[in-house]
Amino acid sequence: MWNWIQRFSSPKHFYSMSAPLINVFAISALLIGIYGLYLGLFVAPTDYQQGESYRIIFIHVPAAWMSLFIYMVMAISSGIGIIWQIRLADMVAAASAPIGASFAFLALVTGALWGKPMWGAYWVWDARLTSELILLFLYLGYMALQSAIDDQRSADKASGLLAIVGVVNIPIIHYSVEWWNTLHQGATVAKFDKPSMHIDMLIPLMLMALAFKLFYGALVLVRTRNEALYRDRNRRWVRELIEKL
Instruction: Give contact residues for other proteins (rule: CB under 8 A).
Output: 41-42, 46, 51-53, 55-56, 59-60, 63, 98-99, 102-103, 105-106, 109-110, 113-114, 116-117, 215, 219, 222-223, 225-226, 229-230, 233, 238-239, 242-243, 245
Q: Are 63 and 103 in contact (CB under 8 A)?
A: yes
What is the C-alpha to C-alpha distance for residues 81 and 13, in angstroms, rounded to an integer?
17
Q: How far is the CB of 53 from other proteins (least distance, A)?
A: 4
Q: How far is the CB of 113 from other proteins (least distance, A)?
A: 5
From residue 222, alpha-carbon distances to 10, 99, 114, 125, 242 in Å are 16, 11, 32, 36, 16
In the complex with other proteins, the residue whose CB is nearer, 27 or 242, is: 242
Q: How far is the CB of 91 from other proteins (least distance, A)?
A: 13
Radius of gyration of the chain (CA): 20
In the complex with other proteins, the residue whose CB is nearer, 53 or 130, is: 53
Burial of 228 (0-12, 13-18, 19+ CB in 10 A): buried
Burial of 98 (0-12, 13-18, 19+ CB in 10 A): middle
In the complex with other proteins, the residue whose CB is nearer, 41 or 165, is: 41
What is the C-alpha to C-alpha distance for residues 71 and 85, in angstroms, rounded to an integer?
20
Q: Are 220 and 99 in contact (CB under 8 A)?
A: yes
Q: How far is the CB of 9 from other proteins (least distance, A)?
A: 20
What is the C-alpha to C-alpha distance for residues 110 and 157, in angstroms, rounded to an integer?
33
Angle at 66 between CA 61 and CA 70, to 5 degrees: 160
In the complex with other proteins, the residue whose CB is nearer, 24 or 113, is: 113
Q: How far is the CB of 60 from other proteins (least distance, A)?
A: 7
In the complex with other proteins, the residue whose CB is nearer, 178 or 200, is: 200
Q: How far is the CB of 52 from other proteins (least distance, A)?
A: 4
In the complex with other proteins, the residue whose CB is nearer, 86 or 108, is: 108
